[in-house]
Amino acid sequence: MIEQTELVVTKWTYNPPTDTSVGEKKIISSLEFDIMKKRNSVKKGILCRFTAEFEIGNEQVLIYVGEDSYVMDFEDVVDKNELQTMIRNSYSKFNEAFEFRKLSTVLHSNYVKPFDESIIDYDVLVHFVSFV
């Protein structure tokens, strides 16, 4: 049985810009994705970590990191479709948390960059996950 944990926001560092007259079009954002193996004596799992950074000029406005885990029994096997669903669900939760938290920032009308799945080799990741 595969269980998804709650998204944990491990970092939310907001630094209001010093120049508030800068328009939203000057905001640059980036998105990173990492996946890691997890294991203990009775379960295995994966951790999906997304990191979003927002900058205005040379000034970093926000660093946001969210982690989402999947815990499974040792005998559970994850296929490509299931792994894609896991990563998409993790990104969705990451984005949802941002949408709520951004309201109290200058980023209230900005979005987290869309997740580009074309950079992921799911076949390699399935192999990686199967040896957790």
CATH no. for residue 56? 3.10.420.10
State the Cα–Cα distance between residues 31 and 50, nearest whole angstrom: 7
The whole-model pTM stands at 0.89
Instruction: Evaluate if residue 128 carries a pLDDT over 90.
Output: no
3 state DSSP class of 14: strand
State the Cα–Cα distance between residues 101 and 27, nearest whole angstrom: 17
Instruction: Evaluate if residue 6 carries a pLDDT over 90.
Output: yes
55-91 pLDDT, tens digit each: 988 889 999 999 999 999 888 888 899 999 999 999 9
Q: Burial letters for 45-54: b for 16+ Cβ neighbours within 10 Å, e otherwise?
A: bbbbbbbbbb
Q: Which domain holds residue 84?
A: 2-130
3-state helix, strand, coil in the chain (%, to 5): 30, 40, 30
If one counts the domains in the chain, the total is 1
